[in-house]
Structure 1
Amino acid sequence: MTKTPVFDADLSGGRNLGDLPEWDLTDLYPGQDSPDLKRDLDWLEAACADFARDYEGKLAGLDAADMLTAVQRYEKIDVIAGRIMSYAGLRYYQATTDSSRAKFMSDMQDRITTYTTPLVFWSLEFNRLTDDQVAALWAANGDLARYKPVFERMRALRPYQLSDELEKFLHDQSTVGASAWNKLFDETIAGLTFTVDGEELGIEGTLNLLTEQDRDTREAAMRELARVFGDNVRTFARVHNTLAKEKEIEDRWRGMPTPQTGRHLSNHVEPEVVEALRNAVVAAYPRLSHRYYALKAKWLGLERMQVWDRNAPLPMESETIIDWPRARAMVMDAYADFDPRMADLAEPFFDKGWIDAGVKPGKAPGAFAHPTVTEVHPYVMLNYLGKPRDVMTLAHELGHGVHQVLAAGQGELLSSTPLTLAETASVFGEMLTFRKLLSEAPSQAERKVLLAGKVEDMINTVVRQIAFYDFECKLHDARRAGELTPDDINALWMSVQATSLGPVFDFAEGYETFWAYIPHFVHSPFYVYAYAFGDGLVNALYAVFEESGESFNDKYFAMLKAGGSLHHSELLAPFGLDASDPAFWDKGLAMISGLIDELEAMED
């Protein structure tokens, strides 16, 4: 019933950052004991029961007007359930180790699951309607036909749905299935402590040290991460084994042909499009990551790179910390230069308590934008520590937020964008910020630092995420043959590392456990290819923007406003782009290769 926040990893750091904003969640509810929340819970329980009483077993007999009323009632239920779970979830992410918040989150999940179980019939029964019946409904009522994309995605699952009784069982037991293991993972990660040079840090602060100038500090951080991950690897292996097996069981019962099928269906993307993307990126490893890291080794004065050198700053890079007011100005200026409308949409995030930026004990790691519900507004979570990558993370998450605000006009059922398209505005926001900073670079050395930083971000978004995708594919395939030991999972992780990063790398002992902290593998299996999809799509879009100038802007805003109401082919057609064409991905990858060409030319 609820939307998934768009999660993004953040590996940045710093201090002396100014006044960092915190969320004001009162736009959702004043507090967990508020009368407003109790009112909505009571309403939801009754509304779900009434909906089932009025429609279960009767969908085949509804005319178009009655079906529209049913859809609108269902949408209202979705809004209220989403509002409650957004509030519970955002409070939890702020302090995952706070037992009272964890209890509240679990209690809300239990109640929402119980209340909404009577609604399971809705998609199952609608999918039993014939194609002719459905076509007649669309033809009879234009307001109902607006919801056609929602039902098309629902009907794509027809071959894989189970009996009503089994579907209700799966819905009921979900709170003690994947979501329970997700919470165990979140709470374990948030509770980890690391000691580097006598200082005790959480995971964000420790990962941040991998971007420090001092190589000994980077090595110490990596070895401490490896030690702590190693100490906890059995727990992480248990989480992955259980979730992969649970998925295998459900996929087998549903008759899904591959572990990836469910993700492709939810993303409304064809398997062959994802395969074309994956193959294009893997084929490009030598001219992207392999070539770039060979350059970086030379800049760092190293014959061989170690894993703690991957995100190292360049020797000429300053250690200036970017405080929050400056970061805000950098991103907002870039947005405004593209289109004042974009800056206007982003401004409330800073001024109205829609961003939680600071690193705090127990706070979930990484960054995300949560759309909540269309009647409220999105919230952005960061772990801001003041380095250039943090500024790009801010630009990225604000892009998500702007997209979510624009798409809200579609209403609750049509606003949610498949993950493959959800990364469009975020990556575009990063690109705008990067291009503005590059145009204002005061020296060739600063330009080089910016170019290298952007190339590294793109490699992390494209190459690294496709390597993650390959790791997940191997993990789920291997789990079908039996239980995986931590060493088994370690070996699968290492099997994709050298191939993706290149021959210049050595991998220190302990790095084999670094799969353990990646949240996407746990929360959203096969999510990761969406990053590469989004980056390739934005690179192609940006090329169109450079060619067409301001005529691009209105088409771009229309694409964001469409939310989940159009297929990717329909969204890209106005720009003359086609993601099903393998050459489309080569076009996006060529932009990364071109930036590396420019860096190589600076060596002459």
Structure 2
Amino acid sequence: MSTYSLTWDLDRFFNGGSESTEFKAYLNELAQNLDVLNAQLDSLKVVTELPAVITTIQRVMNQVREASAFISCLQAQDVKDKKAGELRGKTTSLSAEFQAALGKFDQFLLSVDETDWNTFLNQEDQQSLRFILQERKERAAEKLSVEQESLILGLGVDGYHGWSEMYDTITGKISIPFEEDGEVKQLSIGQAANKFSNPDRNVRKTVFENWEKAWEQDGDLISQTLNHLAGFRLTTYKNRGWDEVLKEPLFINRMKQETLDTMWNVIEKYKPVFAEYLQKKASLLGLEKLSWYDLDAPLASSTSTVSYQEGAEFILENFAKFGPKMADFSRKAFEDRWIEAEDRNGKRPGGFCTSFPEKAESRIFMTYSGTASNISTLAHELGHAFHQHVMNDLEPLNQRYAMNVAETASTFAEMIVADAAVKNATSEEEKLALLEDKVQRSVALYMNIHSRFLFETSFYEERKQGMVSQSRLNELMETAQKTAYLDSLDTYHPTFWASKLHFHITGVPFYNFPYTFGYLFSLGIYAKALEEGQGFEEKYIALLRDTGRMTVEDLAEKHLGVDLTQPEFWEKALLLSVQDVHDFLEMTK
């Protein structure tokens, strides 16, 4: 059996980390290729010249992704790496320049008359990019002139993205004091978050109180970043003539408002079942109601943990039961050091997977401390990496899938491992703990994520009238949580808007509902996989390969034969997690 490293290999891409001379040379090459692209776009006159331009666009796109991925990894592994922060600024500028070039490209597409456009699209060698090019042309019609859009992108480097980077700087300095073995330790945000699943309620309560104080203390600064991010977006939308705040996130996620509304309506219908679980968990813990910091509390008194090695082998064993390709790929990720999982100070919180298209590899970031939740996170991120892996041979433009379907592969992988863990439990106590881990995830996706969606919806409405104060943000957050959780909790987390990175990301506005979509969509796919067995892997791969080149409604229709604007699919998927709650309630009678 191999021994898997807890740290990743980044030298495979650029030797020397943030001091890498190779990376500096790479950024210079990227800048030169951008010059070539701009020159091509400036001289672009007829549609027959488009193929050469598209080739350059795809080359630059891959380089921008490669550079951004490398910087993300450097900043995640060491939040105090100032040099990486400087490189982030340069990469962001190059990325903005590329977006501006794409703006010129889109404006040209807009200028092509329908006859010439259809002739071009109907050529055999353009068929594979037909959806993407048509989508770009239609979206260009919704935007301002190329000069105005370029100005927005340029100002966004020091404005829009600058505020997001400011958030990263502020949170990089935050640590949570915690007394252990008679010594006060300063925990990183990631380490402190892991304490919320500690079996000792006093530990959870103490960490949470210190956690709230830390975010409250810097809340005035973080409220500035959030307000200015939202203000930048709203001003942009206003100038484009967009009335709906959700227009951009729905665009990005290639989905209809009708689909989103149907999904939330079905969830609302079944929420009382999950509120019943929360009440039952409270009574099992000897409480009248759960507090926010009790949501992840383990029910079993056992504090046993699973080593990284054991966690990895468990994942690989169960991926293999689904299909050989997913298992073989994941083994390679472990063996070739694609994963940073070490539990140490100085790392950023959370987990992610990022892809390096030039090398056709991914890197996974997390902090592993041996909990069942950690194993789920690891499986989740491997799902992301597998999704990218099966698309590596497609044109770069066809690899840009939206966040909602991005969460499909990750959640699907997580589901395989979670179900296996419950089935393989060696005792009733262990089975209950693992089943509850599954239910906790459903609560997070149906209630926590919904609270984020409700918060952002109300926050953006108030932000249209002016700046929203720190205390008001706390109020909006707590109101959203009470609504989303059907007021099932005793205390809430009012500073959640400050501690949750997702509210401060510039890439995707409303970085919330796509998680729930991906979760339920993957549950629907998982139900199909259970019906069809191992042979389903090839169909699953075919679905993943199409995620970057069609709307989610068309994707579901083609590969699953379902209509996402109707409640039937969502109900069938959601009933799988409702069954988990029923099983939990039965076991705890």
Percent identity of the aligned residues?
Answer: 22
Which of 555, 568, 585 is the matching residue for 1:583? 568
Q: Could you tell me which residue of structure 2 aligns to residue 526 of structure 1?
A: 510
Residues in 1 aligned to 2:40 and 2:4: alpha-carbon distance in whole angstroms = 52
Within-5 A mapping of 1:117-266:
117-139=100-122, 141-197=123-179, 198-266=184-252
Query: Deviations 1:522-558 (Å, cap 9, x if unpaired)?
Result: 1032121111101111111111122222342221111
Select 2:383's aligned residue among 399, 421, 425: 399
Q: Secondary structure at the match of 1:378?
A: strand
1:373 aligns with 2:357: yes
Pairwise mapping of residues 493-512 of structure 1 onto structure 2 (< 5 A)? Answer: 493-507=477-491, 511-512=493-494
**Contact (CA 8 Å) 1:490, 1:513: kept in 2 or not?**
yes
Give the Cα separation in 1 of the matches to 2:399 and 2:288: 50
Does residue 81 of structure 1 match 2:83? no
How far does residue 37 in structure 1 lie from its aligned partner after superposition? 3.5
Which amino acid letter does the alignment assign opposite residue 298 of structure 1? S
Question: Deviations 1:425-479 (Å, cap 9, x if unpaired)?
Answer: 1111111101211221122332222111101012112321122111111111110
Give aligned pairs, total: 579
Report the Cα distance in structure 2 between the residues aligned to 1:55 and 1:209, rounded to whole angstroms.
53
Alignment deviations for residues 313-334 of structure 1 (CA, whole Å, 9 cap, x no partner)? 10x3421111110110111111
Instruction: Report the secondary structure of 2:337's partner residue.
Output: coil
Q: CA contact under 8 A between 1:374 and 1:412: conserved in structure 2? A: no
3-state secondary structure, aligned to 2:186? strand
Aligned twin of 2:460: 476
1:156, CA displacement in angstroms? 3.5
Provide the residue aligned with 1:93 in structure 2. 76
Deviates more, 1:208-217 or 1:74-83: 74-83
Amino acid at match of 1:188: I
- Normalised by the size of structure 2, how large is the TM-score? 0.94
Structure 2: segments with no counterpart, 5+ residues: none
Q: What residue in structure 2 maps to residue 592 of structure 1?
A: 577
In 1, Cα distance between equivalents of 2:191 and 2:20: 35
The change in CA–CA distance for 1:215 and 1:403 in structure 2 (over 3 A counts) is same
Higher relative CO (Cα under 8 Å, sequence separation at least 6) belongs to: 1
What is the letter of the counterpart of residue 543 of structure 1?
A
| Shift in CA distance, 130/335, structure 1 to aligned 2, threshold 3 Å | same
Structure 2: which amino acid aligns with 1:172? G
Offset, 1:39: 4.3
Instruction: Report what 2:527 is aligned to.
Output: 543
Q: Which residue of 2 aligns with 1:45?
A: 31
For the 8 Å contact 1:149–1:565, the answer to whether it is kept is yes
Change (3 A) 1:42 1:235: closer
Kept in 1, the 8 Å contact 2:66–2:355? The answer is: no
Q: Quote how far apart the aligned CAs of 1:119 are.
A: 5.0
In structure 2, which of residues 425, 429, 432 is the aligned counterpart of residue 441 of structure 1?
A: 425
Does structure 2 retain, via aligned residues, the 8 Å contact 1:409–1:415? no
How big is the alpha-carbon RMSD for the aligned residues of Structure 1 and Structure 2? 2.0
- Report the 3-state secondary structure (helix = DSSP H, G, I; strand = E; otherwise coil) of the residue aligned with 2:352: strand
Which residue number in structure 1 is paired with residue 552 of structure 2? 568
- Determine the structure 2 residue equivalent to 1:55: 41
CA displacement 1:327-360 (0-9 Å, x = unmatched):
1011111111111111111112111121111234
Contact preservation (8 Å) 2:96, 2:157: yes
Structure 1: 5+ residue stretches without partners: 1-17
On the 8 A contact 2:289/2:488 being kept in 1, the answer is: yes
- Match of 1:29, SS state, is coil
Please state whether the residue corresponding to 1:199 is helix, strand or coil. strand
Rounded Cα–Cα distance in structure 2 between residues aligned with 1:115 and 1:570: 29
Matched residues in 1 for 2:576 and 2:509: separation? 28
- Tell me the residue number matched to 2:261: 275
8 Å CA contact retained: 1:86, 1:372: yes
- TM-score, with structure 1 as normaliser: 0.91
Q: Tell me by how many angstroms 1:250 deviates.
A: 0.4
Task: Give distance in 1, aligned partners of 2:154 and 2:346.
Answer: 29
Distance 1:304-1:37 versus aligned 2 partners, 3 A rule: closer
- Compare 253-262 and 543-552 and name the one that shifted more: 543-552
Distance 2:24 2:189 in 1: 36
